[in-house]
């Protein structure tokens, strides 16, 4: 089992009147090589779940076993290591560093990994090529369209060739054609063995996943194939 969470709660302002249970007792297992789509209404807790799965956030209660080890009692340094080596993130809002060029943004996780400058160049260009952005490597985020920024963000996520990719609405800002292109990239990566966790509003896109998890009010309400979930 690659990912295993048990009774995860994420509660904001616990005990106060403004208490929000973004995750309200979620248990989930994901195997290596799976392609999982997470769907649900806005505010249902999809991003919260991904942040916890990606070690960007810590659950209020519950356990999280990644690759057989408990993540909940890892040090900050070990978590940084996990984020760097194990997981590639594609954020809902791109999250590129504005002052850096496309090339430099994609290069960043490789620098933190300690990859040599020569290897880096090859890996960065390869990742940019894969998303069709190699000709824009010199551009800063402010000089690119939303879809182009999203593709650079994807290149950054795949540059280190992580075993897991987590994508939060990667097609949200794209037209259907580029959206489909991004989806194809994810599927191709999945073919190569990468585990994909994809959050989406778009039922059409979710339907391409072998497994679909539906969330509502912080709880998993359905988990299975397209037919089982009812798409």
Ligand X SMILES: Nc1ncnc2c1ncn2[C@@H]1O[C@H](COP(=O)(O)OP(=O)(O)OP(=O)(O)O)[C@@H](O)[C@H]1O
Residue 43 binding: pick among ligand X, another protein, Mg ion, none (C-beta 5-8 Å cut-off by kind):
ligand X
Does position 42 bind ligand X by CB under 6 A? yes
- Integer-rounded Cα Rg, in Å, for the chain is 17
At a CB cut-off of 8 Å and minimum separation 6, what does 226 contact?
207, 209, 212
**Of these, 1, 111, 188, 221, which contacts another protein (CB under 8 A)?**
111
- Residue keyed to tokens 């009010």: 217
55: left (phi over 0), alpha (psi -120 to 50) or beta: left
CA distance 227 to 115: 44
Please tell me whether residue 134 binds another protein under the rule CB under 8 A.
no
Give the one entry of Mg ion, another protein, ligand X, none that residue 45 binds, where binding means its C-beta sits below a cut-off of 5 to 8 angstroms depending on kind.
Answer: ligand X
- With contact defined as beta carbons under 8 Å apart, do 219 and 187 qualify? no
Binding mask 43-72 for another protein (x = CB under 8 A): --------x--x-xxx--------------
Q: How far is the CB of 123 from ligand X (least distance, A)?
A: 30
CB of 26 to another protein, least distance (A): 17
The span of 24-32, 39-47, 116-124, 149-157 binding ligand X (CB under 6 A) equals 39-47
The rounded distance, in Å, linking the Cα atoms of 86 and 219 is: 26
* Closest distance to Mg ion from the beta carbon of 38 (Å): 10
Q: Does 93 bind ligand X (CB under 6 A)?
A: no
- Name which of residues 38 to 67 contact Mg ion (CB under 5 A): 47
Strand 3-12: give its sheet, edge to edge: 20-30, 3-12, 61-66, 69-70
Enumerate residues 6+ apart whose C-beta is below 8 A from 189.
158, 165, 196
Residues that bind ligand X (CB under 6 A): 12, 20, 22, 40, 42-48, 92
Site residues, Mg ion (CB under 5 A): 47
């Amino acid at each position: 089992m690659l990912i295993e969470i048990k009774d995860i709660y994420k509660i904001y302002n616990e005990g106060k009147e403004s208490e929000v249970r973004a995750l309200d007792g979620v248990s989930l297992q994901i195997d290596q090589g799976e392609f999982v789509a997470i769907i649900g209404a806005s505010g249902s807790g999809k991003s919260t779940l991904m942040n916890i799965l990606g070690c960007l956030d810590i659950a209020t209660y519950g356990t999280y076993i990644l690759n057989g080890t408990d993540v909940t009692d890892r040090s900050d340094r070990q978590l940084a290591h996990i984020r760097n080596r194990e997981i590639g993130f594609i954020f809902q809002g791109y999250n590129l560093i504005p002052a850096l060029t496309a090339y430099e943004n994609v290069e960043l996780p490789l620098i933190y990994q300690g990859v040599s400058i020569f290897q880096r160049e090859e890996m960065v260009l390869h990742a940019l090529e894969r998303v069709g952005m190699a000709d824009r490597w010199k551009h800063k985020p402010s000089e690119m369209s939303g879809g182009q920024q999203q593709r650079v963000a994807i290149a950054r996520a795949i540059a280190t060739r992580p075993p897991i990719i987590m994508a939060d609405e990667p097609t949200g800002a794209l037209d259907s054609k580029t959206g489909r292109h991004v989806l194809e990239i994810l599927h191709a990566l999945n073919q190569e063995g990468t585990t994909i966790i994809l959050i989406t509003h778009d039922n059409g896109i979710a339907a391409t996943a072998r497994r679909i998890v539906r969330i509502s009010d912080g709880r998993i309400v359905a988990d299975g194939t397209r037919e089982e979930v009812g798409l």
